Amino acid sequence: MTTARGPAPADGRPWPWLVPAVLFLAAFYAVPVVDVVRLAFSDATLIRAPERWSTDALRALMRDPALREVLVTTVVFTAVNVVALQAMGLLITLTLVRGEARGLRGMTAFRTLVLAAWVVPGIANGLIWQILFDEAPYGTLNSLLGFAGLGPVAWLSDPDMALASAVIANLWQGTAFSMIVFYAARRGIDPTLYEVAAIDGASPWRTFRSVTLPLLRTAIAVNTVLVAVQTLNTFDAILALTGGGPGRATEVLSLFTFNTVFYNLDLAGGSVLALILFLLAMVMATLVFGWLGRER
Amino acid sequence: MSGRFGDIATYAILSLLAVFFATPFVWMLSLALRTPSEIYLGAARLIPDAPTLGNFARILSDAAFLTYLWNGLKLSALGGGLAVALAIPAAYAFSRLDFRRKEAALIAILAVQMISPLVILVPLYRWMGSLGLLNLDASVIALYGALGMPLAVWLLKVAFDAIPREIEEAAIVDGASRWQVLMRITLPLARPGLASAFVLAMVTNWSQFLVPFILLERDRDWPISVAIFNFAGSVSASTTQLLAAACLVAVVPAVAVFVFLQRMIVSALIAGALKG
């Protein structure tokens, strides 16, 4: 995108303008990340400064059977969320856009409802769904299922179900983000393409496959990375919903890192895990910006 | 899909989804209005026979809860303000000045957004501990400023880009400095963008759990997000109605602000997404 170039600015030196932002980024991001690397190769605990430098923390972690379990949970949870949030976000976007084009009422109200879930604090999200998933006979979802003659479902006490429940809670809160990205991208599509498709007598499915989907490719790529990063990085909803349990069934990497540092006080081990989180996020950032760079 | 049949299908899909998205809100309200005995009736009592505001009264008459709400408001507003203040000059430079590696710098700022706060909190907790900066509002606010700034830079750059350069050039010809132009002309014109960036940062801060949970150890310093987590750990199932009321008290301010300002915020986000 090129902006209009006015006469050359009186002084083109950006530094005075960038100093505050750069100072904060350095103090709160660059230096801590360097320190995480340093601590990962130390024997530091949360209450003791590093004394020796080694790869012991890394090796201890590799031997830890919990790590495998946590990584599998993380990959499954992230992958399912990436697919589910986008499928839901896309469905909502396309339905909303159709409704708006037809001038149907209630579209803004529906969009507002989805966005309202988005701003619910993660902790409150976890607590709310914990109440909904209550497995007692009077628990919300189980008593509703009871009316239909179904259930009860062990929403949070069955390990596999607990992970599915965590996905449901995340879907409720996270869909709005995908919806915004898709909505913006869908509105960026030239409407004449749809007019041409209509004149050609293309079916809705055909139009979706041949016009909408290809033109949303960039949005899908961007969304995939952003949803994946967001899912990797946040755990407050899971912490409030299941605390990572039962067992380690819902303990994702970020929650595992948090527990390692702040409950087991293992700063070196936690730093290795934080480093893994950081590298995963950076790989994905490179992917998305690389993709955008090529598309331009 | 066109015509009446399509409209019915549209409404059918949206109604199903609306049930999913509305249920948690409706249910929390239903539970929060119940007396303890009606909690055990589950779904049979969506609308309580004897609705009571007693649960809200108990939560809100608790001085500690008012403190938590105030702390939440204070930390998120000041943190959001700091994020925007830091972002303004940077976004202005990205919008108005030409310099080498501008694209790369802009992307680097966005990439920073992808780093989990957890990663940086691990070492920060240690430093702040040894520097005596734990348990200070200022530490949390500074961190909120750093966490919120990248998105604010992006949103403000888009907002500044939308303001014609010609307006500024007239002032520059009259001898005003760039800084004066920014303060007197550009910022007032960019008010909707500034407000969107501020509100988004503030709502994000309101939701923050990890940062205050780790940096603030004293009960009386906690914002509402940390307080309800602690509250949930301290009640048994027999006080579900109180927990539901507490959750609503934590949720409603953010949702209300957002719903009230959503048209402005959503269009700012969509503009940002289109440029990106």
Say how many domains are in chain A. Answer: 1
CB–CB of A73/A251 below 8 Å? yes
Residue A182, chain B, CB below 8 Å: the answer is: no
Cα–Cα dist A162/B44, whole Å: 25
| Residue of B122, B165, B275 to mutate for A, most A C-beta atoms under 10 A | B122
Cα–Cα dist B119/B97, whole Å: 33
CATH class of B61-275: mainly alpha
Mean pLDDT for A231-251 is 87
Q: Is the model more confident about B237 or about A12? A: A12
Partners of B206 on chain A (C-beta within 8 Å) are 121
Q: Residue B235's pLDDT is what?
A: 62
Which of A11, A25, A232 is opposite residue B146, by nearest beta carbon? Answer: A25
Output the furthest CA–CA distance in chain B (Å, rounded).
75
Residue A127, chain B, CB below 8 Å: the answer is: yes
Which of B92, B214, B226 is opposite residue A262, by nearest beta carbon? Answer: B214
Residue A184, chain B, CB below 8 Å: the answer is: yes
Give the angle A40-A46-A48 at the CA atoms, nearest 5°.
Answer: 90
Check whether the bond before A152 is cis (ω within 30° of 0). Answer: yes
**pLDDT tens, residue by residue, B30-42:** 888 887 777 767 6
Nearest by Cα to A169 from A241, A116, A79, A121:
A241
Mean pLDDT of chain A, nearest integer: 84
Which of A204, A236, A278 is opposite residue B119, by nearest beta carbon? Answer: A278
Residue of A nearest to B230 (CA): A240
Cα–Cα dist A160/A164, whole Å: 7
Give the angle B145-B148-B149 at the CA atoms, nearest 5°.
Answer: 75
**Joined tokens for residue B33:** 């209005």
* B259 to chain A, closest Cα gap in Å: 6
| Residue of B7, B21, B121 to mutate for A, most A C-beta atoms under 10 A | B21
Name the most confidently modeled range: A109-118, B17-26, B78-87, B246-255: B78-87
* B112 to chain A, closest Cα gap in Å: 8
Residues spanned by the domain of A75:
63-265
**pLDDT tens, residue by residue, A196-221:** 888 888 888 888 888 888 888 888 88
| Residue of A17, A129, A258 to mutate for B, most B C-beta atoms under 10 A | A17
Q: Residue A159 belongs to a domain with what CATH number?
A: 1.10.3720.10
Mean pLDDT for B174-201 is 87
| The pLDDT of residue B130 is above 90 | no
Q: pTM of the prediction?
A: 0.87
What are the sequence ranges of the domains in chain B? 1-52, 61-275
Q: Which of A38-52, A278-292, B255-269 has the lowest mean pLDDT?
A: A38-52
CB pairs under 8 A between A and B: 283
| The pLDDT of residue A3 is above 50 | no
Residue A98, chain B, CB below 8 Å: the answer is: yes
Residue of B nearest to A94 (CA): B10
Q: Which of A39-48, A215-224, B85-94, B253-262 has the lowest mean pLDDT?
A: A39-48
Q: Is residue A139 assigned to a domain?
A: yes
Q: Is residue A79 assigned to a domain?
A: yes
Residue of B nearest to A93 (CA): B14
Q: Is residue A116 assigned to a domain?
A: yes
- ipTM of the complex in this document: 0.86
Give the angle A159-A162-A165 at the CA atoms, nearest 5°.
Answer: 160
